[in-house]
Each structure stands twice: as C-alpha cells, then as structure tokens.
Amino acid sequence: MFMVHRDLVSFHSPYFQNLLNQRSVTISTKVNEEMARRDEGLGDLGSVDENGKVTVRATVKLPAEVVSEIFLDVEKFGPVRHEVIAAFVEWLYNGFDGFGIDQVKPPGMYPITERTLVELWVFAGRAGVPACQNACIEGLEQYRQETGVIAWEGFDYIYDNTKEYKNENNGLKKLVIDQCAWNIDMRVVDTMTEQEFPRAARFDIAERLQQVTVPGMAGKGIYKDAPETAHTPYDEYYLRK
C-alpha cells in the first residue's frame, strides 16, 4: 500500500481526481415507512418492523478529509507491478529527480530500471498524466546514456500496451525505435529469434534506418549525420499536457 496526498495525485491525474471525488459508502439504515414511501426511487421497501420502520440502503459521500483507499481497475490498467507504483509516487513528490538516474552511484545500482520506466509510461498514460510520461522519456534516454542499455527487451510489452496511441503520439515506441536505429547493429538483431526481437520492431527500425542513413547504407551504420548531432530532441517524443 502507498500513501499519497489526495490533492497532489488529483492535481496531476484527472482519472484519480474523478475517482476520489466520487468516493462514497453505501450503508443500511432504518427509516419510518411513511418517510420512505415519499421517495419513489426506493422501489420495493420490504417488510416493516414492529416500530413501523423499514430498512433502506443509502449512499453517503465521504468528506474530503477522509482517507480513501484506491484499488486500481484491472480492466483499465492491467497488472501493475509494485515497482511501477513506487516509481509513480516518487515522481509525484520529486519529479524526474525521484527516478534517481542522474545521481552519482556505483555501476548497476540505479534505483529504477528501464523496464520500470517503460511500464510507468504506460501506467501514467492510462491515468492521464502526460507530465510523468514525458519524465519517463527523459529517464529512458538518460538511462541509455549512462548505462548503454536500451529497452528493446520490452518491445513485446510496448507494442501490446500502446495500441491506443496513433503512431505520431506513441512517444515511447518512437524513442526506443530511434535508440535502436542509432545504436544497435542490425546484423546482430538478424541472428535473434522473433521471440527475442519481434518482427514488428525489426520492420519499424528498418524503416527508420532508411530515413537516417545514407541511401544503400542502412545495414552499414553510415548515417546522414553523426548520431550525437542528429539525435532527436526530447520534445519530439513528448505528450502535450
């Protein structure tokens, strides 16, 4: 379980704001039969007790100061790992710094992985938090620069969980495709199985290579511009608030 301030999560996420504003409880209570019958919406009132009262169910909206528990809608979010929610809470309170990527630390001791950033991008999108998605974009690229690791092992997850985005709005897929186009030797990819490197990703990378390499040199790593100067700015992968 994670504790967060209601106003903070509501400010960033219209989904959670709506969910928290609708927090209510349904209780059973006894009222006079005559009073109950004035409300036509109650339907069948059932039996009347010896005191002339009937049992009805009433919905009471909780006041804002009451602590609410939120259970994620599995149909909307799918399975969400503990590490993803932890990263989201860190972002809520500390922004990009909460990921801890740009802090000095021993190699291999980063507090967040590229896979968690990928899954957080998807989670934040479903919660309506584009600012968090944009932080994930920066995190994935900075993680690559610091460690050399690209999230290509998450391609199956990316393709399966970003279908609701049009290609031009799918900043996560665009970023990882570009990272692969600039940094992975496709001759190595050709030796991998489809389970290791999905066909759809190979096609998208090959298409991107045609755009950024000298004609006829897509497989030889001869680019129109040096990767460090041609690398696309973050904002091309951003979602707008």
Helix 199-212 × helix 171-183 angle, to 10°: 70
Q: Would you say 201 and 177 are in contact if contact means Cβ atoms under 8 Å apart?
A: yes
Residues 37 and 126 in one domain: no
Domains of the chain: total: 2
Query: What is the rounded CA–CA span in Å between residue 119 and residue 136?
Result: 9
* 198 part of a folded domain: yes
Q: What are phi and psi of 170, to 5 degrees?
A: -90, 75
Residues 93 and 12 in one domain: no
Q: Residue 55: give the domain boundaries.
A: 6-61
Dihedral of alpha carbons 103, 114, 239, 218, sign: positive
* 67 part of a folded domain: no
Residues 54 and 141 in one domain: no
As beta bridge partners, residue 105 has none
Question: Quick count: other Cβ atoms within 10 Å of Cβ 163?
Answer: 7
Residues 54 and 85 in one domain: no
Residues 21 and 98 in one domain: no
pLDDT for the residue 230: 46
Residues 48 and 81 in one domain: no
* 68 part of a folded domain: no
* 162 part of a folded domain: yes
Print pLDDT tens along the chain (241 aa): 788 888 899 899 999 888 887 655 555 556 565 655 555 444 555 566 666 666 766 555 555 555 567 788 888 999 999 999 999 999 999 998 878 776 655 555 567 889 999 999 999 999 999 999 999 999 998 888 888 888 888 899 999 999 989 877 899 999 999 888 888 888 888 888 888 889 999 999 988 888 877 665 555 555 555 555 445 566 778 876 5
As beta bridge partners, residue 134 has none
Residues 139 and 54 in one domain: no
Angle (CA) 16-20-23 rounded to 5° is: 145
pLDDT for the residue 100: 79
Residues 34 and 113 in one domain: no
Residues 31 and 144 in one domain: no
* 177 part of a folded domain: yes
Residues 29 and 125 in one domain: no
Residues 49 and 83 in one domain: no
Spatial CA neighbour of 111 closest among 78, 89, 80:
89
* Single residue among 32, 61, 90 that ends a domain in this structure: 61
* 166 part of a folded domain: yes
